[in-house]
Amino acid sequence: MAAEEHAVEGAQEHAPQYATGGEYIQHHLGFLVFGQKEDGHWGFAHSEEEAKDMGFWSLNVDTMGISLVLGLIFLALFKTVSKKATSGVPGGLQNAIEMIVEMVQGNVKNTFHAKNDYIAPLSLTIFCWVFLMNLMDLVPVDVIPLLAQTIAGDSHLYFKAVPSTDVNITAGLALSVFIMIIYYSIKIKGVGGFFAELAFHPFGKWALPLNLVMELPAFLAKPVSLALRLFGNLFAGEVIFLVIALLGWFQLPLHFAWAVFHILVITLQAYLFMMLTIVYLNQAHNDH
Amino acid sequence: METIYAYTLISAALIFGICGAGTAIAFGNLGGKLIESSARQPELAPRLQTQFFLVAGFVDVISIIGVGMAMLFIFAVPFQV
């Protein structure tokens, strides 16, 4: 809480003054975009219009960097703990990580019925990575952007701290899961079996177009809902943090209350992403 | 411009309200059924709870996407002319 207060005071000293609350929030919804500018050379966008003009071939450096760093932290942490693991009395960290691993293992065993050694590590990675990315939401909204502005010496730069409020990240995760669904469907059932599942399923083979119309949207909705669920939850949470940050001194208890509630959302969304991945992949492995 | 702002706010309010109503009904049903079945078979309660959270995720996705969209409409007004 003290950090939050400090960040807001700092924001009033250094950062550009915002005319309205809407402007403050709008500024905080932007990204640090790297791409080709209108005059032809590559660099960071300094305003929202400039970022928009870069079009498709631009990169959100901030969310990508933070998600990569968090992924490396997850890997390094789990690797050191598993190297140092003892069968004697475990320390606190080893206990916590064993709990996470056992939770994921239990869920995979209960939900996933085919045999595939790849699913449990995948679920563990998804759970921990998404959880860490969501956890960045609990860092006070102005701390990391202000740090980045101070280091870069540019008050117009905005550094987004929460990777999962960037739809590119969540859509990337969901698309990789979607590709795995298609891969395993074709691998287990063959191309014909996969097509038959989409085309002949509810009404038999004489109603093929109707079947396709019913099954294809449900199939394509999987990655979309997976991506938008995570993005929507975290985006809404982030915007509410930003709205609370406009309130002056009243923000301290409100931030605390919303942060406590948000811990539930963070864990639940990471858990849901993992569970739905397992469920979808189980459907892909299910040979009728 | 003012008309656009006004309509945007009204649409955001409608999104919030209708999404909230739908999710409220769904969560009422869901929680009620969870408690009912846990009372009937207490030994199944942990497994039901996992299923509950899974379905809770399904239930709140539309409303949370709606809330996100409404927030976007309010703060990052996309219809600027």
Which chain B residue has its CA at the smallest distance from A279's CA?
B54
Choose, out of B19, B65, B69, B72, the residue to mutate when testing the contact with A (most A CBs < 10 Å): B65
pLDDT tens figures, A189-228: 888 888 888 888 777 778 888 888 888 888 888 899 899 8
Higher pLDDT, B41 or A159: B41
Q: Stretch A2-22: mean pLDDT, rounded?
A: 52
CATH topology of domain B2-75: F1FO ATP Synthase (1.20.20)
In a domain? residue A110: yes
Q: Could you tell me the pLDDT band of residue A5, with boundaries at 50, 70 and 90?
A: very low
pLDDT tens figures, A224-235: 989 988 998 898
pLDDT tens figures, A25-50: 777 777 888 887 777 777 777 777 77
- Domain limits for position A278: 60-141+162-285
Of B50, B56, B68, the CB nearest to A236: B68
Q: Stretch A92-121: mean pLDDT, rounded?
A: 90
In a domain? residue A156: no
Tell me the nearest-neighbour CA distance from B67 into chain A, angstroms.
7
Q: CB B71 to CB A235 under 8 A? A: yes
In a domain? residue A49: no
pLDDT at A128 over 80: yes
Choose, out of A229, A243, A268, A273, the residue to mutate when testing the contact with B (most B CBs < 10 Å): A229
Tell me the chain A residues in contact with residue B54 when contact means C-beta distances shorter than 8 Å. Answer: 272, 275-276, 279
pLDDT the model gives residue A14: 43
3-state secondary structure chain A: CHHHHHHHHHHHHCCCCCCCHHHHHHHHCCCCEEEECCCCCEEECCCHHHHHHCCCCEEEHHHHHHHHHHHHHHHHHHHHHHHHCCCCCCCHHHHHHHHHHHHHHHHHHHHCCCCCCCHHHHHHHHHHHHHHHHHHHHCCCCHHHHHHHHHHCCCCCCCCCCHHHCHHHHHHHHHHHHHHHHHHHHHHHHHHHHHHHHHCCCCCHHHHHHHHHHHHHHHHHHHHHHHHHHHHHHHHHHHHHHHHHCCHHHHHHHHHHHHHHHHHHHHHHHHHHHHHHHHHHHHHHCCC
Tell me the chain B residues in contact with residue A239 when contact means C-beta distances shorter than 8 Å. Answer: 68, 71, 75
Domain tally, chain A: 1
What are the sequence ranges of the domains in chain B?
2-75
Q: Could you tell me the pLDDT band of residue A17, with boundaries at 50, 70 and 90?
A: low
Higher pLDDT, A122 or A84: A122
pLDDT tens figures, A70-89: 999 999 999 999 888 878 77
Q: What residues 51-70 of chain B have any CB closer than 8 A to a CB of chain A?
A: 53-54, 56-57, 60-61, 64-65, 67-69
Q: Could you tell me the pLDDT band of residue A252, with boundaries at 50, 70 and 90?
A: confident
- Mean pLDDT per 10-residue segment, chain B (81 residues): 83 90 92 94 87 83 81 69 49
pLDDT the model gives residue A8: 47
The pLDDT mean for chain A works out to: 83
Tell me the nearest-neighbour CA distance from B77 into chain A, angstroms.
9
In a domain? residue A96: yes
Q: Could you tell me the pLDDT band of residue A1, with boundaries at 50, 70 and 90?
A: very low
pLDDT at A13 over 60: no
